[in-house]
Structure 1
Amino acid sequence: MSALPPSMHVLERGWLSCNTLVCTGEAPCVIDTGHVKHAADAVERVAGLLQGRPLADIAHTHLHSDHCGGTAALQAAHPGTRTWVPEPSLPHVQAWDEDALTFGDTGQRCDRFIAAHALAPGQSVALGGFSWDIHAAPGHDALAVLLFEPRHGVLMAGDAMWENGVGVIFPHIDGSDGFEPFADTLALIERLDPALIIPGHGAPFGRAGGAIHAALERARQRIDYFSAHPAQHALYAAKVLIKYQMMDVERMPRPAFMDWLARAPALHLLHQQHRPDLGWDDWLAQVLAPLFDKGALKAEGAEVVDGG
């Protein structure tokens, strides 16, 4: 794997949180802040790297709750920090429109934060002493961006690129074509030819051993499969959203769990995309059975528990 510049530090967070990049050089910055559940951890780990220096900027590849949930806490710890979001998301943050930000539709939570600066594709932004090129990266999220530091070849990919697999293609849930834009984003990453990719989840990986090439091929195969079998994407997405919720809350009384499922609009859309021939209860039973069978969820008395 290619080495990061000495002032770039990747905090591998695991699930629920995304990876966080902290640049500790001139005008320190954080890119992607993790989930609200781990906000205190983000504040502590950033403070440990900054050693009393103020944080100048916070930026985001996109605004799913696992990428911006620590932003409010970091803003409270570092008053005056400039906060950057993808340009189309800026008015949604300023109005705190939870439906436009997808928190409401997916039943997720995120502490409210403020933002005044836009990451506009086609432009560059100075963050942490580096110049980052901004590229639109639709697919997983229609409004996402890539941040590419060309001098060292570092790509902050968000959920546009993982080493293994792909994330849920949220635009498709809403009825848009997310498959082709995702393929276009993968082609963009290939053209950028980064030396090192910092994915939204998982360890950073580089060119050594053809790791980036192999990751691109795996992602393309997965996107092609979902494009040919959209109902399978719907099933995958439903399982991911349910597991994500349970990783957050860890345990719920079964009636509260069933109520959360019934109140998540995205799950109803996925029901119609996957098996509209089944009633809601029968469909849920089909989705939940493998999660319990494989231990992703567990039943403990009257509670549903995350299986870890």
Structure 2
Amino acid sequence: MDTNGAERLPDWVIWQRRPFPDANLLLIDGREAALVDSGFVGHAQQTADWVCAHSDHLARVVNTHWHADHVGGNALLQARGAGIAASAPDADAIARRDPGCCLAEYLDQPVAPYTVDESLDDGQVLRLGDADWEVVHTPGHTPGHLALWQPEERLLLVGDALSDYDVGWVNSALDGPGAAATNVASLQRLADLEPRVLLPAHGPIPADPTAAFASALRRGRRLVDDPDGAVWYGIRRIFAFALMIRGGVLVDEVEPYLHARAWLTDAARLLRLTPEALAAELVETMVRSGAAVLRDNRLQAAAKFTPVLPEALRAPFPRAWPASAGPQRL
């Protein structure tokens, strides 16, 4: 277990770093014990086991946003009695069973069906553990992305808004050409809180939150200034995740897989390329950069990741999820 930086946390915040395709584990212990994000569906049981080892009763899961690596354990934890809380945009779409929920089908990243019990708005105060946390709406990486702020301890949970000297990707195809600028505004709003401890969903706890924000803001502004670069940044991340959760893709199947992806078609339009040309260039650039490697006749992700069993990828897409009763607005 990686505990780098955890010594700066109060003893009622329990943190564990996890490699992709999961988000880090973060449990806020107390009478209203809460887990922030729940990892990938392929490791839902491991997430649940970790929670049980650290808390007698989980009252709530709070999702920073609805990507597959943050909501994959929701269904299992909800079945065991935890309520699910999410931002109002995500909660409303989940209640409607919008086919675009979680971008699961769009990104080809499976998510087990769940419902949202609490719809969260900007500025709302939540009792998590035994402390009050403020919901901070931080659109950019996704329109419904949120952060959580604990002012007494000056703890800031930022989801994918940034990691240690990095910044979350944006989807200008779905969220519009202003998504990158919106992301920078959210980063600045978080930086203005001047947290003592910054807790990202991926990577280590930054040693210097101020430096992490400064670097993230520089990267975020580059995405604004270079729209094509922002598209490339996003599709490299999406494809690397696909390679991780599938344990790689057979070389002969790589380009047919990419040609069938809506995210690649959208990116090709923005980059003024054909999907076929973009697929070939994406593979070439990722191999050349070392982000992907050819091994055993498969194209595989080079970064460290936790393997996923193939059966975990069989979760239905949201258009096939059972109906939802809808969230409460508390």
TM-score between the two structures when normalised by the length of structure 2: 0.84
**1:135-174 deviations in Å (ceiling 9; x for gaps):** 1101111111111011111111101122211121124554
How far apart are residue 201 of structure 1 and its match?
A: 0.8
Structure 1 counterpart of 2:105, one-letter code: G
Identity of aligned residues (%): 22
Q: Pick from 216, 219, 244: which aligns with 2:216? A: 219
Distance 1:203 1:301 in 2: 31
Corresponding position of 2:62: 59
Tell me if 1:286 matches 2:281: yes
Separation in structure 2 between the aligned mates of residue 170 and residue 158 of structure 1, nearest angstrom: 16
1:125 corresponds in structure 2 to: 126
Partner of 2:231: 234
Taking only aligned residues, the RMSD between alpha carbons, in angstroms, comes to 1.9
User: Structure 1 residue 245 and structure 2 residue 242: aligned?
Assistant: yes
Query: What is the DSSP-based 3-state SS (H/G/I as helix, E as strand, rest coil) of the residue aligned with 2:102?
Result: coil
Written as runs of structure 1 = structure 2, the 5 A alignment for 1:1-308 is: 3-50=8-55, 53-76=56-79, 78-79=80-81, 81-171=82-172, 173-205=174-206, 211-274=208-271, 276=272, 278-300=273-295, 302-308=297-303
Q: Quick check: 2:140–2:180 contact (8 Å CA) kept in 1?
A: yes
Residue in structure 1 matched with residue 312 of structure 2 by the alignment:
none
Q: Deviations over 1:63-118 (max 9, x none)?
A: 11111111112223x22x21101111112222332414311222211111121211
1:283 shift after superposition = 2.0
Q: Is the 8 A contact 1:172 1:178 kept in 2?
A: no
Contact 1:173 1:266 in 2 (8 A): no
CA distance in 1, matches of 2:177, 2:73: 29
The SS at the match of 1:197 is: strand
User: Gaps (5+ residues) in structure 1?
Assistant: none
Considering Cα pairs closer than 8 Å and 6+ residues apart, tell me whether 1 or 2 has the greater RCO.
2
Q: CA deviation at 1:5?
A: 1.4
1:179-219 deviations in whole A, cap 9, x for unaligned?
2211211221122111111012111235xxxx222112211
Q: Residues 19-60 of structure 1, C-alpha deviation per residue, up to 9 Å, x if partnerless?
A: 12112211211111111122121111111112xx12111111
Q: Distance in 1 between matches of 2:104 and 2:121?
A: 23
1: distance between equivalents of 2:283 and 2:248? 15
- In structure 2, stretches of 5+ residues that fail to align are 304-330
TM-aligned CA distance change 1:307 to 1:187, over 3 Å: closer
3-state SS, counterpart of residue 166 of structure 2:
coil
Q: Secondary structure at 2:133's aligned position in 1?
A: strand
**Against the structure 1 CA distance between its residues 11 and 67, is the aligned structure 2 distance closer, same or farther, given a 3 Å change threshold?**
same
What CA distance in whole angstroms lies between the structure 2 residues aligned with 1:115 and 1:187? Answer: 29
Whether contact under 8 Å (2:173, 2:266) holds in the other structure is: no
Residues of 2 paired with 1:307 and 1:165: CA distance?
A: 18
TM-score (norm 1): 0.90
Amino acid at match of 2:94: V
